[in-house]
Amino acid sequence: MAAQTVPFRRFSTGFLPRKERFGAWRDAMTSVYEIAPLDEDASRRFAGTATSAHLGPLIVGTMDVDALAYHRSPAKIRSDHMDHFIIRLDRSGAAGNRADEILVKDMGQPLALPPMRLDGACIIIPRDVMTGMLPRADALHGTRLGGIMGRLLADHMRTLAQAVPAATVEEAPQIVRVIRDMVTACLAPSHDALVQAQPQVAATLIMQARRHIDANLTNPDLSPDQLCRALGLSRSALYTLFEPHHGVNRYILERRLLRIREHLCDPAERRRIGEIAFACGFSSEAHFSRAFRRAFGCSPSEMRAGLHPGAATGPAQMNAAGGIGGEFPEWLRRLRA
Protein backbone atom coordinates (compact mmCIF):
# COMPACT_ATOMS: atom_id res chain seq x y z
CA MET A 1 0.00 0.00 0.00
CA ALA A 2 1.34 3.46 -0.87
CA ALA A 3 2.55 5.61 2.00
CA GLN A 4 0.08 8.26 3.13
CA THR A 5 1.38 11.82 3.04
CA VAL A 6 0.74 14.30 5.83
CA PRO A 7 -2.39 16.46 5.39
CA PHE A 8 -1.44 19.35 3.12
CA ARG A 9 -3.33 22.41 1.89
CA ARG A 10 -2.39 24.97 -0.74
CA PHE A 11 -4.25 28.27 -0.99
CA SER A 12 -3.77 30.62 -3.93
CA THR A 13 -5.78 33.64 -4.95
CA GLY A 14 -4.04 33.63 -8.30
CA PHE A 15 -6.58 31.22 -9.77
CA LEU A 16 -9.60 33.21 -8.59
CA PRO A 17 -11.42 35.98 -10.43
CA ARG A 18 -9.91 39.31 -9.41
CA LYS A 19 -12.93 40.49 -7.47
CA GLU A 20 -12.83 37.32 -5.29
CA ARG A 21 -9.12 37.28 -4.40
CA PHE A 22 -9.12 39.48 -1.34
CA GLY A 23 -12.36 37.99 -0.05
CA ALA A 24 -11.00 34.44 -0.28
CA TRP A 25 -7.84 35.29 1.67
CA ARG A 26 -9.80 37.33 4.24
CA ASP A 27 -12.20 34.41 4.79
CA ALA A 28 -9.25 32.05 5.35
CA MET A 29 -7.52 34.34 7.83
CA THR A 30 -10.46 35.72 9.84
CA SER A 31 -10.34 32.59 11.99
CA VAL A 32 -7.18 34.12 13.46
CA TYR A 33 -7.11 37.84 12.66
CA GLU A 34 -9.29 40.88 12.25
CA ILE A 35 -8.44 42.20 8.79
CA ALA A 36 -9.22 45.73 7.70
CA PRO A 37 -11.13 46.02 4.40
CA LEU A 38 -9.35 47.17 1.26
CA ASP A 39 -10.67 49.73 -1.18
CA GLU A 40 -12.06 48.32 -4.41
CA ASP A 41 -8.96 49.00 -6.49
CA ALA A 42 -6.59 47.38 -3.95
CA SER A 43 -8.85 44.34 -3.53
CA ARG A 44 -8.83 43.77 -7.30
CA ARG A 45 -5.01 43.79 -7.35
CA PHE A 46 -4.65 41.59 -4.25
CA ALA A 47 -3.01 38.17 -4.72
CA GLY A 48 -1.30 35.62 -2.55
CA THR A 49 -0.19 32.02 -2.16
CA ALA A 50 0.09 30.01 1.04
CA THR A 51 0.63 26.38 1.97
CA SER A 52 0.22 24.43 5.20
CA ALA A 53 1.13 20.91 6.27
CA HIS A 54 -0.32 19.34 9.42
CA LEU A 55 2.16 17.21 11.38
CA GLY A 56 -0.08 16.42 14.36
CA PRO A 57 1.07 18.73 17.14
CA LEU A 58 2.58 21.27 14.69
CA ILE A 59 1.70 23.04 11.46
CA VAL A 60 4.38 24.14 8.99
CA GLY A 61 3.43 26.68 6.36
CA THR A 62 4.59 29.18 3.77
CA MET A 63 3.14 32.50 2.62
CA ASP A 64 3.67 34.98 -0.18
CA VAL A 65 0.81 37.43 0.23
CA ASP A 66 0.23 41.09 -0.61
CA ALA A 67 0.30 43.64 2.20
CA LEU A 68 -2.54 43.70 4.72
CA ALA A 69 -2.94 44.83 8.34
CA TYR A 70 -3.51 41.99 10.80
CA HIS A 71 -4.94 42.47 14.33
CA ARG A 72 -5.85 40.28 17.29
CA SER A 73 -7.89 42.18 19.86
CA PRO A 74 -8.73 40.86 23.37
CA ALA A 75 -12.28 40.24 22.14
CA LYS A 76 -10.98 38.17 19.21
CA ILE A 77 -8.74 36.14 21.53
CA ARG A 78 -11.67 35.40 23.85
CA SER A 79 -13.95 34.39 20.99
CA ASP A 80 -11.70 32.06 18.95
CA HIS A 81 -9.72 30.25 21.68
CA MET A 82 -6.66 30.11 19.41
CA ASP A 83 -3.88 29.74 21.94
CA HIS A 84 -0.86 29.01 19.80
CA PHE A 85 2.57 30.43 19.10
CA ILE A 86 3.62 31.36 15.59
CA ILE A 87 7.32 31.37 14.72
CA ARG A 88 7.54 33.30 11.48
CA LEU A 89 10.38 33.63 9.00
CA ASP A 90 9.98 36.91 7.13
CA ARG A 91 11.97 37.80 4.02
CA SER A 92 12.32 41.45 3.16
CA GLY A 93 14.22 43.45 0.57
CA ALA A 94 14.56 43.18 -3.19
CA ALA A 95 15.49 39.94 -4.93
CA GLY A 96 19.21 39.28 -4.58
CA ASN A 97 19.37 41.36 -1.41
CA ARG A 98 17.03 39.44 0.90
CA ALA A 99 17.17 39.82 4.66
CA ASP A 100 15.69 37.15 6.90
CA GLU A 101 14.09 37.78 10.29
CA ILE A 102 12.64 35.34 12.80
CA LEU A 103 9.67 36.72 14.76
CA VAL A 104 7.84 34.95 17.62
CA LYS A 105 4.16 35.79 18.17
CA ASP A 106 1.95 34.58 21.04
CA MET A 107 -1.59 34.33 19.68
CA GLY A 108 -2.92 34.49 23.24
CA GLN A 109 -1.75 38.10 23.50
CA PRO A 110 -3.14 41.10 21.61
CA LEU A 111 -1.18 42.24 18.59
CA ALA A 112 -1.50 44.80 15.85
CA LEU A 113 0.60 44.36 12.73
CA PRO A 114 0.78 47.33 10.35
CA PRO A 115 0.11 46.74 6.65
CA MET A 116 2.83 44.39 5.57
CA ARG A 117 3.58 41.84 2.88
CA LEU A 118 3.96 38.29 4.18
CA ASP A 119 6.80 36.45 2.42
CA GLY A 120 8.37 33.50 4.18
CA ALA A 121 7.52 30.48 6.29
CA CYS A 122 6.02 29.73 9.68
CA ILE A 123 5.72 27.06 12.35
CA ILE A 124 2.51 27.04 14.44
CA ILE A 125 2.93 25.43 17.87
CA PRO A 126 0.16 25.02 20.49
CA ARG A 127 0.86 26.57 23.88
CA ASP A 128 1.16 23.30 25.79
CA VAL A 129 3.80 22.06 23.33
CA MET A 130 5.67 25.37 23.37
CA THR A 131 5.76 25.67 27.16
CA GLY A 132 6.86 22.05 27.39
CA MET A 133 9.83 22.94 25.19
CA LEU A 134 10.45 26.39 26.70
CA PRO A 135 9.03 26.92 30.22
CA ARG A 136 9.38 30.71 29.81
CA ALA A 137 7.68 30.76 26.41
CA ASP A 138 5.13 33.34 27.62
CA ALA A 139 7.94 35.91 27.66
CA LEU A 140 8.85 35.32 23.99
CA HIS A 141 5.98 37.33 22.46
CA GLY A 142 7.47 39.85 20.04
CA THR A 143 10.96 38.31 20.12
CA ARG A 144 13.04 38.98 17.02
CA LEU A 145 15.79 36.40 16.72
CA GLY A 146 19.02 37.44 15.06
CA GLY A 147 22.66 36.36 15.05
CA ILE A 148 23.86 32.85 14.37
CA MET A 149 20.81 31.27 16.06
CA GLY A 150 18.48 33.32 13.88
CA ARG A 151 20.33 32.23 10.74
CA LEU A 152 20.28 28.60 11.83
CA LEU A 153 16.54 28.63 12.46
CA ALA A 154 15.87 30.52 9.20
CA ASP A 155 17.77 27.91 7.17
CA HIS A 156 15.98 25.13 9.03
CA MET A 157 12.56 26.66 8.28
CA ARG A 158 13.34 27.12 4.59
CA THR A 159 14.36 23.47 4.33
CA LEU A 160 11.22 22.38 6.18
CA ALA A 161 8.97 24.39 3.88
CA GLN A 162 10.44 22.62 0.85
CA ALA A 163 10.52 19.09 2.30
CA VAL A 164 7.40 18.73 4.46
CA PRO A 165 4.78 18.57 1.64
CA ALA A 166 6.31 15.27 0.52
CA ALA A 167 6.58 13.79 4.03
CA THR A 168 4.59 10.71 4.97
CA VAL A 169 2.41 10.21 8.03
CA GLU A 170 4.97 7.71 9.31
CA GLU A 171 7.73 10.31 9.08
CA ALA A 172 5.74 13.07 10.82
CA PRO A 173 6.69 12.20 14.46
CA GLN A 174 10.41 12.27 13.63
CA ILE A 175 10.03 15.60 11.79
CA VAL A 176 8.20 17.02 14.82
CA ARG A 177 11.05 15.92 17.11
CA VAL A 178 13.60 17.62 14.87
CA ILE A 179 11.55 20.84 14.77
CA ARG A 180 11.11 20.87 18.55
CA ASP A 181 14.82 20.29 19.17
CA MET A 182 15.82 23.03 16.73
CA VAL A 183 13.33 25.61 18.01
CA THR A 184 14.34 24.90 21.61
CA ALA A 185 18.04 25.16 20.82
CA CYS A 186 17.67 28.46 18.95
CA LEU A 187 15.18 30.24 21.22
CA ALA A 188 16.78 29.06 24.49
CA PRO A 189 20.35 28.09 23.63
CA SER A 190 21.23 26.43 26.93
CA HIS A 191 23.97 23.85 26.99
CA ASP A 192 21.51 20.94 27.36
CA ALA A 193 19.31 22.20 24.53
CA LEU A 194 22.26 22.62 22.20
CA VAL A 195 23.53 19.14 22.99
CA GLN A 196 20.09 17.64 22.27
CA ALA A 197 19.79 19.47 18.95
CA GLN A 198 23.47 19.09 18.04
CA PRO A 199 22.85 16.92 14.94
CA GLN A 200 20.35 19.42 13.51
CA VAL A 201 22.50 22.43 14.39
CA ALA A 202 25.62 20.81 12.95
CA ALA A 203 23.81 19.82 9.74
CA THR A 204 22.56 23.38 9.23
CA LEU A 205 25.95 24.90 10.02
CA ILE A 206 27.79 22.59 7.64
CA MET A 207 25.26 23.48 4.93
CA GLN A 208 25.89 27.19 5.52
CA ALA A 209 29.65 26.66 5.52
CA ARG A 210 29.57 24.68 2.28
CA ARG A 211 27.41 27.28 0.57
CA HIS A 212 29.88 29.98 1.60
CA ILE A 213 32.88 27.93 0.43
CA ASP A 214 31.36 27.13 -2.97
CA ALA A 215 30.40 30.78 -3.48
CA ASN A 216 33.94 31.94 -2.64
CA LEU A 217 36.22 29.36 -4.29
CA THR A 218 37.68 32.05 -6.53
CA ASN A 219 38.68 34.15 -3.51
CA PRO A 220 42.34 33.45 -2.65
CA ASP A 221 41.66 34.75 0.88
CA LEU A 222 39.11 32.02 1.60
CA SER A 223 40.35 30.43 4.82
CA PRO A 224 39.17 29.07 8.18
CA ASP A 225 39.49 32.55 9.70
CA GLN A 226 37.40 34.08 6.92
CA LEU A 227 34.78 31.34 7.38
CA CYS A 228 34.68 31.96 11.13
CA ARG A 229 33.98 35.64 10.56
CA ALA A 230 31.31 34.94 7.92
CA LEU A 231 29.46 32.34 10.01
CA GLY A 232 30.02 33.84 13.46
CA LEU A 233 31.81 30.72 14.72
CA SER A 234 34.92 30.22 16.80
CA ARG A 235 37.88 28.39 15.24
CA SER A 236 37.38 25.43 17.57
CA ALA A 237 33.68 25.17 16.62
CA LEU A 238 34.55 25.32 12.90
CA TYR A 239 37.26 22.66 13.23
CA THR A 240 34.91 20.40 15.19
CA LEU A 241 32.29 20.84 12.46
CA PHE A 242 34.71 19.70 9.73
CA GLU A 243 36.39 16.89 11.67
CA PRO A 244 34.38 14.17 9.88
CA HIS A 245 35.55 15.67 6.56
CA HIS A 246 39.30 15.69 7.31
CA GLY A 247 39.40 19.38 8.16
CA VAL A 248 38.20 22.62 6.66
CA ASN A 249 41.38 23.31 4.66
CA ARG A 250 41.19 19.87 3.09
CA TYR A 251 37.55 20.45 2.19
CA ILE A 252 38.29 23.83 0.57
CA LEU A 253 41.14 22.27 -1.42
CA GLU A 254 38.94 19.42 -2.66
CA ARG A 255 36.14 21.77 -3.69
CA ARG A 256 38.63 23.88 -5.67
CA LEU A 257 40.07 20.81 -7.39
CA LEU A 258 36.62 19.56 -8.31
CA ARG A 259 35.72 22.97 -9.74
CA ILE A 260 38.90 22.99 -11.83
CA ARG A 261 38.22 19.45 -13.07
CA GLU A 262 34.81 20.63 -14.28
CA HIS A 263 36.50 23.41 -16.25
CA LEU A 264 39.11 21.06 -17.74
CA CYS A 265 36.42 18.63 -18.91
CA ASP A 266 34.40 21.41 -20.52
CA PRO A 267 35.16 21.55 -24.29
CA ALA A 268 34.14 25.22 -24.33
CA GLU A 269 36.77 26.16 -21.73
CA ARG A 270 39.69 27.82 -23.56
CA ARG A 271 41.74 29.33 -20.73
CA ARG A 272 45.22 28.06 -19.93
CA ILE A 273 45.38 25.53 -17.09
CA GLY A 274 47.40 27.87 -14.91
CA GLU A 275 44.92 30.66 -15.49
CA ILE A 276 42.07 28.42 -14.39
CA ALA A 277 44.00 27.37 -11.27
CA PHE A 278 44.72 30.97 -10.28
CA ALA A 279 41.09 31.93 -10.93
CA CYS A 280 40.02 29.15 -8.53
CA GLY A 281 42.12 30.43 -5.66
CA PHE A 282 45.49 28.73 -6.11
CA SER A 283 48.54 30.97 -5.76
CA SER A 284 51.12 28.44 -7.02
CA GLU A 285 50.85 26.50 -10.26
CA ALA A 286 53.29 23.86 -8.98
CA HIS A 287 51.29 23.34 -5.78
CA PHE A 288 48.11 23.05 -7.83
CA SER A 289 49.62 20.43 -10.18
CA ARG A 290 50.83 18.27 -7.30
CA ALA A 291 47.49 18.47 -5.52
CA PHE A 292 45.58 17.70 -8.70
CA ARG A 293 47.68 14.58 -9.44
CA ARG A 294 47.25 13.33 -5.86
CA ALA A 295 43.50 13.79 -6.11
CA PHE A 296 42.81 12.38 -9.57
CA GLY A 297 45.82 10.23 -10.47
CA CYS A 298 46.71 12.23 -13.56
CA SER A 299 48.05 15.64 -14.49
CA PRO A 300 45.75 18.57 -15.33
CA SER A 301 46.86 18.42 -18.97
CA GLU A 302 46.05 14.70 -19.17
CA MET A 303 42.62 15.42 -17.71
CA ARG A 304 42.02 18.11 -20.34
CA ALA A 305 43.19 15.77 -23.13
CA GLY A 306 40.91 12.99 -21.95
CA LEU A 307 43.85 10.81 -20.86
CA HIS A 308 42.65 10.38 -17.32
CA PRO A 309 42.40 6.79 -16.12
CA GLY A 310 40.20 6.68 -13.05
CA ALA A 311 38.93 10.18 -13.67
CA ALA A 312 35.50 9.18 -12.47
CA THR A 313 36.97 8.96 -9.00
CA GLY A 314 38.46 11.70 -6.94
CA PRO A 315 37.94 13.63 -3.76
CA ALA A 316 34.82 12.51 -1.95
CA GLN A 317 32.10 15.09 -2.53
CA MET A 318 30.20 15.96 0.63
CA ASN A 319 26.55 15.89 -0.19
CA ALA A 320 24.29 18.19 1.81
CA ALA A 321 23.45 15.88 3.59
CA GLY A 322 -3.93 9.39 10.89
CA GLY A 323 -5.00 12.17 8.49
CA ILE A 324 -6.90 15.27 9.61
CA GLY A 325 -9.65 16.55 7.38
CA GLY A 326 -11.15 20.00 7.18
CA GLU A 327 -9.76 23.37 6.18
CA PHE A 328 -7.02 25.46 7.73
CA PRO A 329 -9.17 27.18 10.43
CA GLU A 330 -10.32 23.76 11.62
CA TRP A 331 -6.70 22.59 11.71
CA LEU A 332 -5.88 25.47 14.03
CA ARG A 333 -8.79 24.77 16.34
CA ARG A 334 -7.83 21.11 16.66
CA LEU A 335 -4.08 21.66 17.02
CA ARG A 336 -2.81 20.25 20.32
CA ALA A 337 -0.01 18.21 21.81
Asked whether residue 285 is domain-assigned, the answer is yes
Asked whether residue 329 is domain-assigned, the answer is no
Q: What is the mean pLDDT of residues 150-159?
A: 91
Residue 90: closest CA among 111, 67, 128, 121: 121
Asked whether residue 314 is domain-assigned, the answer is no
Same domain, 150 and 248: no
pTM above 0.85, yes or no: no
Range in 27-31, 92-96, 270-274, 294-298 with the lowest mean pLDDT: 92-96
Asked whether residue 196 is domain-assigned, the answer is no
In this predicted model, which residue has the larger pLDDT, 153 or 200?
153
Q: What is the residue range of 153's domain?
A: 8-189
Q: For residue 25, how many other CB atoms are within 10 A of its CB?
A: 24
Q: How many domains, the chain?
A: 2
Same domain, 178 and 259: no
Q: What is the mean pLDDT of residues 126-154?
A: 88
pLDDT, tens digit, 9 for 90 and up, residues 193-234: 656 676 777 777 887 888 899 889 999 889 999 999 888 888
**Which pLDDT belongs to residue 321?**
29
Same domain, 80 and 142: yes
Same domain, 179 and 248: no
In this predicted model, which residue has the larger pLDDT, 43 or 93?
43
Same domain, 237 and 173: no
Same domain, 28 and 87: yes
pLDDT, tens digit, 9 for 90 and up, residues 53-65: 999 899 999 999 8
pLDDT, tens digit, 9 for 90 and up, residues 105-130: 998 888 888 888 889 999 999 988 99
Same domain, 176 and 248: no
* pLDDT higher than 60, residue 311: no
Looking up residue 266, the CATH number of its domain turns out to be 1.10.10.60
Dist. CA 80–CA 100, nearest whole Å: 30
Same domain, 280 and 151: no
Asked whether residue 109 is domain-assigned, the answer is yes
Residue 76: closest CA among 112, 123, 101: 112
Calculate what percentage of the chain has a pLDDT beyond 90: 28
